[in-house]
Amino acid sequence: MQLHDLTWPAVEAYLQRSGGVIIPIGSTEQHGPSGVIGTDAMVADAIARETGRRADLLVAPLFSIGVAEHHMAFPGTLSLRPSTLIALLLDTLHSLAHHGFRRFFFINGHGGNIATLKAAFSEIHAGQRGQGGDRALGCALVNWYEVADVVRLRKQYYADREGRHATPSEIAVIQYLRPDLIHDQPLPPPGPLRSEVQGADDFRAKYPDGRMGGWSDLANPQQGQALFEAAVRGLVRQVPAFFSS
């Protein structure tokens, strides 16, 4: 169930049975010549929504813009500074905590968010230090693409052609969710993975078409459906266990 679809009495009733909420977070950034800019956000949101539906748990509105400074040399990318995202996260969690929520489970679709999310969690826990156990807040983070069965399928489908960005796995999930967004033009092989990126201009110099070793054209909707289902199945097991801990 979606927070923004409910009335306040419905949220109050939900809090009588659960203090947990799922929060999807992604990014708005380039995904190579065949991947849409909203990939990370749309995939995280869809997986969170379906996880919430199957587990009968509340899903908060999507954080659709993340930390993506390294992609800013590609038109259409939007990026927040880490400090901005931390402030947004803290204000959101404090609002939810004010109403009685105590467990926050983030489903993430963008690797560039991870360090900032963990820093925000540290801020939350530091702010709770010394308060009673009944007031303690718990935060968890799972990257959908690291759910065990998803990892197995990524290896099975793509092996060493998965790459690190604009990967065929994430493109496949979008193809399943949004067949109207399939871009099936043939692509040349991606360039080799290179040394650590030093900023946006360096990223584009090393990866001119935006792909980091990902053979995006290997993706298809059938694989996307299997990856989506694997992610949701794994999260349906993880989220309620965290909420009840």
141-199 confidence digits (pLDDT tens): 999 999 999 999 999 999 999 999 999 999 999 999 999 999 878 899 999 998 889 99
For residue 126, name the pLDDT band (cuts at 50, 70, 90). confident
What does the pLDDT average to over 62-68?
A: 98
- pLDDT for residue 32: 97
Helix (H) or strand (E) holding 194: none
pLDDT exceeds cutoff 90 at 93: yes
SS3 string, 109-168, reads CCHHHHHHHHHHHHHHHHHHCCCCHHHCCEEEEEEHHHCHHHHHHHHHHHHHHCCCECCH
- Beta-bridge partner residues of 31: 35
Residue whose entry in the numeric block shows the structure tokens 């109403």: 99
Mean pLDDT of 206-228: 97
Give percent helix, percent strand, percent coil of the chain, each to the nearest 5. Answer: 55, 10, 35
* Local structure of 78: helix, strand or coil: strand
Let me know: does 28 contact 38? Beta carbons within 8 Å. Answer: yes
pTM over the 0.85 mark: yes
The mean of the pLDDT values for the chain is 95
Quote the domain boundaries for residue 41: 3-243
Higher pLDDT, 138 or 131: 138
User: Would the pLDDT of 228 be above 50?
Assistant: yes
Neighbouring-strand partners of residue 213: 165
Q: For residues 56 and 48, give the distance between their C-alpha atoms in angstroms, rounded to a whole number.
A: 11
Residues 6 or more apart whose Cβ sits within 8 Å of residue 32: 165, 166, 187, 190, 209, 210, 211, 214, 216
For residue 233, the domain's CATH number is 3.40.50.10310
What is the predicted pLDDT for the residue at 134?
A: 43
Q: What distance in Å separates the CA atoms of residue 144 and residue 156, rounded to the nearest whole number?
A: 17
Sheet containing 20-25, strands listed edge to edge, beginning at the edge strand earlier in sequence: 58-59, 20-25, 103-108, 138-143
What's the number of domains the chain is made of? 1
Mean pLDDT, range 125-130, rounded to an integer: 74
Please report which residue ranges of 28-81 form alpha helices under DSSP H: 39-55
Residues pairing with 24 in the sheet:
107
β-pairing verdict for 20-25 and 58-59: parallel
SS3 at position 177? helix
What is the rounded distance in angstroms from the CA atom of residue 75 to the CA atom of residue 217? 21
